[in-house]
Amino acid sequence: MLNAILNNTKGDRWIWLIVIVLSVISLMAVYSSTGTIAYKHGTGAESYLMKHLAMIVAGIALMYISHKLDYRYYAGISKLLMIVTIPLLLYTLLFGNHVNDASRWIALPGGLTFQTSDLAKLSLITYLARTLSRKQENIKDVKQSFVPIMGSVCVVFVLIAPAGLSTAIMLFGVSILLLIVGRISIKQISLVCLAGVVLLAGVMMFGGRRDTYVSRINAFMHPEKADPDKSFQSDHAKIAIATGGFVGKGPGNSTERNYLPHPYSDFIYATIIEEYGMIGGIALVGIYLFLLYRCIKIVTRAPKAFGALLAAGLSFSLTIQAFANMAVAVGLGPVTGVPLPLVSMGGTSILFTSVAFGIILSVSRDIEEPKKVVVGEIREVAV
């Protein structure tokens, strides 16, 4: 059975191993951190564990399907994805479910929700990779290359930022890195950054969540002056990390999970450190760094520009999101609402993250298969 699984899964074996390890860590951390919310709703933590397990299994199934498809297929549907994404983002902004003065989800039948920004990340990165790879001959041309690229980035930023500023900023940063890899001139990238600063200032000054942004930044910059109600999440995250020590309290022994508002998603890293100590926290950082290293190897070996840009953009998105989540948990950044990829409990986040992993594996599979052909040809010649 193991041989059958190995024969049917292609691509970078280390990335498959990373996915399995992160999934196991996720199941253990989510099971431990959902005890309080399960008690409040009169259910057992096992029910949340089973739902989370179902999402992970569904995510791995999507990853498998995504890695089986030739990555060039995603270039063909990138325009369609953008055409679908922009109206969905607009609909979410105007008519989506409002939680904490933010509209980020669309309600689906069966009590499910769909976070459109997860689709937007995948759509924009795929579209940018396609556009940059096809415009390489006239990449410095403002009208042919720069305008459509800048337009897509700014439109997505404007539609995500009012409800999810942290997500919009990270996606904007990933786009800038992709433009640098795609050989866009520094002058043009500077213009994109300037446009981003103007849009950011506009959202923060005139957006509906202005008070939230200001209070979170003030709580981060001046924690000693912060209102305890405003710094509640970060304070208890710091307590969790401080009490975790070097080796932690052990699996299931977290106490701060009873006080943190989202110990199973936004602050799951603090829960992991409390239970597994500094050793567990450093190990998780190492896993994401190793993921970035494997992805960089794929990017440098990819035979086609689109594959290299696609793998680069998706890997930047996954690792930047991971380190942003962990930075918030340890007090190195203001509170955001971004989950830890493949670890935090979630629905669409896990599914779209899994698709991103699948596409990266598809690019790596394209690198491996030509080698097999060459080896076969050498053997024939030798015979």
Average pLDDT over residues 370-377: 43
Cα gap 287→89, rounded to integer Å = 32
Place of tokens 């990819």: 302
Instruction: Supply the DSSP symbol for 302.
Output: -
How far, in Å, CA of 74 to CA of 130, rounded? 9
Q: Per-residue pLDDT tens for 89-110?
A: 998 888 777 665 566 777 776 6
The set of long-range contacts for 93-98, using a CB threshold of 8 Å and a minimum separation of 24, is: 93/159, 93/162, 93/163, 96/163
pLDDT computed for residue 355 by the predictor: 95
For residue range 8-20, list pLDDT tens digits in order: 677 889 999 999 9
pLDDT, greater one: 140 or 27 = 27
Residues forming beta bridges with residue 105, ordered by sequence position: 97, 115
Question: At a CB cut-off of 8 Å and minimum separation 6, what does 210 contact?
Answer: 204
Q: What is the pTM of this model?
A: 0.89
52: how many CB neighbours lie within 10 A of its CB? Answer: 23
Reported as half-sphere exposure (CB side, CA atoms, 13 A), residue 203 has a value of 22
Contacts for 370 with CB less than 8 Å, ≥ 6 apart: 303
Look-up of token digits 């990270």:
170
What number is the average pLDDT over the span 268-284? 94
As a whole number, mean pLDDT of residues 212-225 equals 72
The whole-number pLDDT of residue 6 equals: 59
